[in-house]
Structure 1
Amino acid sequence: MLANEIAALLPRMRRFARALTFHREDADDLVQIAMERALGRSGQWEPGTRLDSWIFRIIKNAWIDEVRSRTRRAELFAPEEDGEQVGDNHAAAHQQRLAVQKAISLLSEEHRLVVGLVLVDGLPYKEAAEVLEIPVGTLTSRLARAREALQQLLADDPLSNPPARKS
C-alpha cells in the first residue's frame, strides 16, 4: 500500500526538511504538508518510479511555496540560536553544529537544496537531479560551488574552528 511506503520514508523526509528549514517546527510542518499532498495526489505517482524522489520533489516544491508566502508577508526567519556553552566537548560539538547550520543557511537556495539532498540525505546525484528537475552536470557544478562556499564560510567562522583550550 502506498501510504505504508510513504510512512517508511518519514525519517528521510524529516532529515531533508530540516536541511531546508533549519527549524524543527518548520520541518515538521513541511513534512505534514508533503504527506497531505502525496496522499491526496497518490494517483499522480507512477508505479515503477522512485517514490523517494517523488516525495522529495513534493517537499522541495512545498518549501518553495512557503518561502514565497513568507516573502509576500514580509516575515523574517527566526534568528539562529547562538547560545554559547562552556565546559565540555558537547559544547564544542554543539558550537560546530551551529556553525555548520549557519553556514548552510547562508548558501543560496539552489545550493541548500543540493547540499540537503546529496550531502545530508545521501541521495545519488542522478536521483537528486531528478528531484530538482535539473541535469546531473548542473547538480554536480552546484554541489562543487556549494562545497567551496561552505568551506569558505566555515573557515571564516570562529565557532567552527574554536581555539584550543589551555589546560
Structure 2
Amino acid sequence: MTTSDVRQHLAEHLTRLWRYGLVLSRNREVAEELVQSTCVRALEKSAQFTPGTRIDSWLFAILHSIWVSDVRARQVRLGQGFVESDELPAPDTRELDDTRLHYAKVMQHVSALPEAQRNAVFLVYVEGFTYQEASETLSVPIGTIMSRLATARAKIAQMVNTPPSVQEKRF
C-alpha cells in the first residue's frame, strides 16, 4: 500500500481513532497525541500493511501498541487524565432527553469497568470489530476477549440492577 493510500484511510478514520484514544487515555490531549503518533507510525510503516485486511483494525492495533508503550514508559499515575462520562459526547439523536440520560448512564457504567474490559467493549460493541479482530488489536487470545466481554456485561447488568444507594457505597 502506498503512503498516499494510507493518508486517505487515515483521514477517513481520524474520528474513530481519536475516540479510541479517548477511551484508552481518558484525556483529550493524550488522545490527540496518540492519534498523531498513530498517523506518523502508519505512514512510516505503510509497507507493512497487508492488502486485503481491514485497515481500521491495523490502525487501532498501532494506536493500542503506542498506548501500551507510553503507559509502560511513563508509569501513569492512578486516575491521571480521567474524563467524566458526562463530558463524553452523546450521540446527536435529537430524540427525547430520556435517550440521552440512558446513554450517559451506560457510558458511566462502561467507564467504571477496568481498562481491559472497557477496551474490549469499545472495540466489539462500539467499533463493530469481530472477536478475532479485537483479539488481534489487543494482542490477546480470542478467549480472553470473550471472557472480558462476558465479565463486562455481568458487571454492567449488576450495576444497572443495583439501587443507586448501594452503588454509591461500592464506588
TM-score by length of 2: 0.71
The count of corresponding residues between Structure 1 and Structure 2 is 153
RMSD: 3.0
Q: 1:56 aligns with which of 51, 56, 60?
A: 60
1:7 pairs with 2:11: yes
- The AA in structure 2 aligned to 1:77 is Q
Could you tell me which residue of structure 2 aligns to residue 139 of structure 1?
145
In the alignment, the residues of structure 2 paired with residue 82 and residue 7 of structure 1 have an alpha-carbon distance, to the nearest angstrom, of: 26
Stretches of structure 1 that go unaligned for 5 or more consecutive residues are 84-88, 162-167
Task: Give per-residue Cα distances to partners, 1:104-145, cap 9 Å, x unaligned.
Answer: 333222212101101121212222122123333332222111
User: Offset at 1:78?
Assistant: 3.6
User: Offset at 1:98?
Assistant: 5.0
1:20 pairs with 2:30: no
User: Offset at 1:22?
Assistant: 2.9
Stretches of structure 2 that go unaligned for 5 or more consecutive residues are 87-95
In the alignment, the residues of structure 1 paired with residue 122 and residue 63 of structure 2 have an alpha-carbon distance, to the nearest angstrom, of: 12
Could you tell me which residue of structure 2 aligns to residue 115 of structure 1?
121
Retained in 2: the 8 A contact 1:15–1:120? no
Q: Identity of counterpart residues, as a percentage? A: 37
TM-score by length of 1: 0.72
Retained in 2: the 8 A contact 1:80–1:102? no
Could you tell me which residue of structure 1 aligns to residue 89 of structure 2?
none
Retained in 1: the 8 A contact 2:26–2:81? no
Residues 127 and 41 of structure 1, relative CA distance in 2, 3 Å threshold:
same
